[in-house]
Structure 1
């Protein structure tokens, strides 16, 4: 698990295409209440997320955890304003599969992933 996280952190979101789904969590700062709520919603779900090939990338201000991209490039590419909270689930095909301006509960996230064509194909 730790080795995989370190390997993913050295890759850009674009590099993860076809390999991983990426959940981008963006907040103005580390103390943002919505960021904290999103982390809490995902807490204890790391195995479920890993089973679904999900890498979590966090942007807090200008700091990025989980990918080698800059905060500026991620915010521009995924239309995530610096002063706002946002969550984007990027499918393995590289497109935004889910976008929210409030935290996503884990059940919605899992259901969205399980409905994706690549996920359904992988379960056969």
Structure 2
């Protein structure tokens, strides 16, 4: 699992297309209450995220963890203002499948992914 995380961190979100779903969590700071809540929700989902081919990309201020993109590139491409919290689930097709300005709870995230056509096809 550590090798996979390191490999994904060396790829851009665009490079992950067709291989991974990407959950971009953007916050102005690591202390942002919504960021803390989102991190807590994700902490209990390690197996669910792995089973669903999800890479989490954390965008905090000008720092990116989980992908090789610059913060500016991610903010521009996914319309994530630097001063605001936002979460974007990018499907394997490269399109935003879910966008929120508040944390996404585990059940909503799992249900959204499980309803995606590529996920349903992979379960057959």
Same fold at TM > 0.5: yes
Q: Which residue of structure 2 aligns with residue 122 of structure 1? A: 122
Q: Deviations 1:28-56 (Å, cap 9, x if unpaired)?
A: 01111110000001112111101000000
TM-score by length of 2: 0.99
Q: Deviations 1:92-121 (Å, cap 9, x if unpaired)?
A: 000000000000001000000000000000
Q: Distance in 1 between matches of 2:29 and 2:23?
A: 17
Indicate the SS of the match to 1:35: helix
CA RMSD between the two structures: 0.4
Q: Which residue of structure 2 aligns with residue 56 of structure 1? A: 56
Q: Deviations 1:63-90 (Å, cap 9, x if unpaired)?
A: 0000000000000000000000000000
Match runs of 1:1-124 below 5 Å: 1-124=1-124
Question: Structure 1 stretches (4+) deviating beyond 2 angstroms?
Answer: none
Q: Distance in 2 between matches of 1:31 and 1:41?
A: 15
Q: Distance in 1 between matches of 2:21 and 2:106?
A: 15
Q: Which runs of 5+ in 1 are unaligned?
A: none
TM-score by length of 1: 0.99
Q: Distance in 1 between matches of 2:44 and 2:88?
A: 20
Number of residue pairs matched?
A: 124
